[in-house]
Amino acid sequence: MSNARPALRRPEARLALALALAVAAAVFVAVFLFGRANTPDYTATLFGRAGADALRLKAQLATAVLAIAALQLLLALWMYGRLPGVRRVPGPVPIAHRIGGVVLFALTVPIAVHCVQAYGVQLTGSRVAVHSIAGCFLYGAFAAKVLLVQSRRLPGWALPLAGGALVVVVVVLWYTSALWHFNGNSVTVLSLGYRHVPPGWM
């Protein structure tokens, strides 16, 4: 019976994974197409700030998102027993991880709204293209992770992989926007082509 049970669960696990991937792809495509169809409004504001002030605030918010993502990674490693020398997982750790995920998502929303309103999804220049595609991927990954968290039929690697993908995409987004802003409109490797879009694009 013990050997048969995992075999019975494999099709269900494949279905859950396929559903999560399908939802992630659908969200990615929806955000991408919406951003491409949007007419950029370079005067769009972020919490009442426009121009350089909006870019500065957006860079600060993106840095806060990066810090929370790093904390989420630390908490996840703690929960999975991957922190060296740490064996016990206190009850507040999973709760803090869930709260951190909600806060992280909430902080990305005003950033994304401003990006879509002001610039849409643009593919001109390597940095801009990577940033735009990563932004679309972020919400697809969020949607997939929400579904995976609800499932009890998945292999043990599925949820850590989804969480790790989110952390990676947050790093990519920060690198191609906040770091670019703080570093005088330049980042290694991906600076090529940034002058082909409006000054201050983020």
Look at residue 1 and tell me whether its pLDDT is greater than 60.
Answer: no
pLDDT of amino acid 197: 45
Cβ atoms of 127 and 192 closer than 8 Å: yes
In 3D space, the residue among 70, 77, 75, 148 whose CA is nearest the CA of residue 104 turns out to be 70
> Strand pairing partners for 77?
none
Indicate whether 4 pLDDT > 50. Answer: no
201 falls within a domain: no
The torsion region of residue 188 among left (phi > 0), alpha (psi -120 to 50) and beta comes to beta
Mean pLDDT along residues 139-157: 84
Query: pTM value?
Result: 0.83
85 and 193 Cβ atoms separated by less than 8 Å: no
Range of the domain at 37: 4-196
| Nearest in space to 139 (alpha carbons), one of 164, 161, 108 | 108
Please count the other Cβ atoms lying within 10 Å of the Cβ belonging to residue 14.
13
- Asked if the structure places residue 19 within a domain, the reply is yes
As for how many domains the chain has, the answer is 1
